[in-house]
Structure 1
Amino acid sequence: MTTDIKHQAGIAPGIMPGIVPGIAVVLADPNSLTRDCFSLGLGTLCRDMTVRSVASLRDAAGALARDGRAEVVLCNIGAQAGLNDVLCAAIRDAVSACLPVPLVIISDRDDGGMILESLRLGVRGYIVPSLGLGVMLEAIRLVAAGGTFVPATSLQSLIAPVPGTIAVPPPGPGADLPVTDRIGGLTPREMAVLTCMREGKSNKLIAYMLGMCENTAKAHVRNVLKKLGATNRTEAAFMAHAHLSRGAPLESNRP
């Protein structure tokens, strides 16, 4: 089902109208209540905004194929625990199907890892409920103008360590050397994966803890094994343990 809402009469109390005319948005949301709330809220906030609401990303791609007019596609993924393989594939396919129209995700989770993974999949914006409709409109305007939107709180969580998250192990002697010389060429993200491997975590659990797809976790594990020259996860974990125990550079076993 597709619903077009173009609000012209009145502005909700405390909300200033938008100033950018003619913004066409396609909103994909499986929940009828939130779909209607977002449509009516955005239409009230910006009187010249047209919101076409559909139930899925597939329906959004179909709506674009039929008439092709939209500046932004919004997709509400709600309270997903993370970007599992099915959702990753759906987002990747939607990004491709909606091109050149940018895709913006609405999510209940303000999670830095999940946001980074979304951006890697081609998403151009990530909106969380704490921002409010006013910021949401500005984010839509930014993305429609060619930019990318990420909440400031999410950027701060990526910069400052948060209790309970996985941190890259502190370097030993030789800390003045670049990471690539010190730890077998591993990136900080790969070091976080290696930390999980040392703790015996599965790919699925690594993906959950680091906010990525399971396939992405598998790719990181393969890269770690290749860079360290390890034949399996156990050998890589042993090498990491030895490195952290003696504080010596972790070199690859490859000739």
Structure 2
Amino acid sequence: MVMGAATLPHIYRSVDIDRFPKPPRNEAQRPEALAVTARVATIPVVLISAAALIRDCLARCLAAPDLNYTLHGYASVDEWHPADLAVPMTILLCATGDRATERAICDDIAKLKAKAPASRIIVLSDAEDAVLVRRAVEQGAQGFVGMTFNLDMAAAAIRLVQAGERFVPVTSLLAAQAAPMPASDKGALCQALTQRQIDVIDRLRRGESNKIIAYKLDMSESTVKIHIRNIMRKIKARNRTEVAILTKDLFD
């Protein structure tokens, strides 16, 4: 489900903990009752950001009574371990700038999915380019929240993702869908790549290893590696995932 940032808060509101029934007074002191109340009153969210100020500010903002999130902040993906929290996680993956956002999308989402396959990931970034938003979704993120959002909009987007839906800014989605690679660009890319390199890309996009590609195309594994390096240089990709993403339109 995709909704525009401007309309989302009017439909999905932050949960109001006062609507949950409170235990009777004589029961409220029991450990079991306190545990249940704690589970209802707070919603754990993991925030991964290299910027301590962003972590601290978001933790305080999202802990407000009308939002009732509990934020667990980490400086990097490697620092976080799923065992730290025993419930399915919603993860805010924060990055600032195009380069850091690309790195988060192309590398960190895969790491998070490997650590916690059931986690739901929301990219939080000031780089709201339509291509980056589309890449984030293709890599497995369930949401993308731009830093042009206000706190209520961001909280509503988190709620939506936690409910099992997807959220991306509708303007970014429409821009990405309306702007496929122009035919002239496809032609230029095809001219820049040799037929053998296109064959390698085709196998790579199927998820095959270098060894399998070498076998299927009847070449040595070292030749496959050379082809991939040259392909990455020509299309300005930094890894195999980016090669697959940037050449998607060639095989549509």
Q: Give yes or no for the alignment of 1:218 onto 2:236.
A: no
- Percentage of identical aligned residues: 22
CA contact (8 A) 1:25 1:51 kept: yes
Could you say if the C-alpha distance between residues 116 and 66 of structure 1 is closer, same or farther in structure 2, counting changes exceeding 3 Å?
Answer: same
Relative to total residues, which structure has the larger helix share, 1 or 2?
A: 2
Write out per-residue CA displacement over residues 137-163 of structure 1, whole angstroms, 9 at most, x where no aligned residue: 0111011110111012212322445xx
TM-score normalised by the chain length of structure 1: 0.58
Aligned CA-pair RMSD: 3.4
Aligned to 1:133: 151
Alpha carbons of structure 1 residues 27 and 46: separation in structure 2 relative to 1, 3 Å: farther
What amino acid sits opposite 2:173 in the alignment? L
Q: After the TM superposition, which segments of 4 or more aligned residues of structure 1 sit over 3 Å from their partners? A: 82-87, 191-208, 216-225
Alignment match, 1:151: 169
Q: Does 1:19 align with 2:37?
A: no
Residue 81 (1) aligns with residue 99 (2): yes
Q: 2:182 aligns with which of 168, 191, 198?
A: 168
Maintained 8 Å contact 2:47/2:72: yes
The answer for unaligned runs of 5 or more in structure 1 is 1-15, 170-190, 228-255
Matched residue of 1:26: which SS? strand
Instruction: Give the equivalent residue in structure 1 for 2:51.
Output: 31
Number of corresponding residues: 180
In the other structure, the counterpart of 1:187 is none
**In 2: Cα distance, 1:199 partner to 1:83 partner:** 27
- For the residue of structure 1 that corresponds to 2:98, the secondary structure is coil
Does the Cα contact within 8 Å between 1:82 and 1:114 map onto a contact in 2?
no
Preserved CA contact (<8 Å) 1:139 1:149: yes
Deviation at 1:27, TM superposition (A): 0.7
Q: Distance in 2 between matches of 1:141 and 1:71?
A: 12
Bigger RCO (CA 8 Å, 6+ sep): 2
1:121 aligns to 2:139 (yes or no): yes
Unaligned runs of 5+ in 2: 1-12, 18-40, 194-229
Instruction: Give the TM-score, by structure 2 length.
Output: 0.59
Q: Secondary structure at the match of 1:75?
A: strand
8 Å CA contact 1:107–1:129 kept in 2: the answer is yes
Aligned 8 A contact 1:108 1:129 in 2: yes
Cα distance, 1:40 vs structure 2: 1.1
